[in-house]
Amino acid sequence: MINSVIRYTVVFILLVLLQILLFNNIQFSGYVNPYVYIMFILILPVEIPSWLLLILAFFTGMTIDIFTGTPGMHSSASVLAAFIRPSVLRSNSPRDGFEPGAQPSMLSYGFRWYLIYATLVVLVHHTALFYLEVFRLADFFRTLLRVLLSSVFTVTFVLIIEYYRKGR
């Protein structure tokens, strides 16, 4: 228990650092802004109580908000992503259900499963985030394009990180 708390804390710090130091500095046109920190919500155990998941998501979002100077934006999107995560897991569960203590990882459930799972959560998060950022419906399709392009990049990076995590 204590062990896993420490492990997740380390992963949290690494992901936040990666986001702030690396991905926030990728300023490749206005269309591609990968937000890889959302992976923290993806890797938490399947059986984590929903309330804890929501609070952790809020905390994660707030941390990013502090560093990007956008109070509320990332927190709100992350909490929404955490809220739909249980439904995504349920609708996408393997045939014989999740084992007790299971972790949503590529190692346990395969590439295809992980791709669908990650894509759904990332899409919800990015949609909320980018529309909250512009806060208007003018330019609807341009924002949609930003959501889609950024999601593609985020999911790609998440898959790469997950692939190397698998090796451990």
Partner 1 sequence: MRSLLNFLERYSNLIIFLILEGIAIYFLSTRNYYHNARAVNSIRWLAYGFEERITNTRNYINLRDINANLAAENTALRNSINRLVRNNTSTFYSVSDTVYQQQYQYTTARLTSNSVNKQKNFFTINKGTRHGISNDMAIIGGGGIAGVVVGCSENFSVAMSLLNLDFRVSARIKSNGYFGSLSWDGRDYRTTILSDIPQHVTVNIGDTIETTGYSAIFPEGVTIGTITGFEKPGSDFYIIYVQLVTDFRKLQFVDVVANKRKAELIQLEEKIE
Residues making contact with partner 1 (CB under 8 A): 20-21, 24-30, 32-33, 50-51, 54-55, 57-58, 61, 65-73, 75-76, 79-80, 83, 132-135, 139, 142
Residue 63 to residue 49: CA distance in whole angstroms: 21
Among residues 45 and 133, whose Cβ is nearest to partner 1? 133
- Which parts of 1-105 fold into alpha helices (H)? 2-17, 39-43, 50-68, 73-91
Question: Is 153 in a helix, a strand, or coil?
Answer: helix
Answer yes or no: are the C-beta atoms of 127 and 70 closer than 8 Å: no
Task: Give the up-direction half-sphere exposure of residue 31: CA atoms within 13 A in the CB hemisphere.
Answer: 8
Q: How far is the CB of 16 from partner 1 (least distance, A)?
A: 11
Q: How far is the CB of 40 from partner 1 (least distance, A)?
A: 16
Q: How far is the CB of 79 from partner 1 (least distance, A)?
A: 5
Among residues 38 and 79, whose Cβ is nearest to partner 1? 79
Among residues 66 and 160, whose Cβ is nearest to partner 1? 66
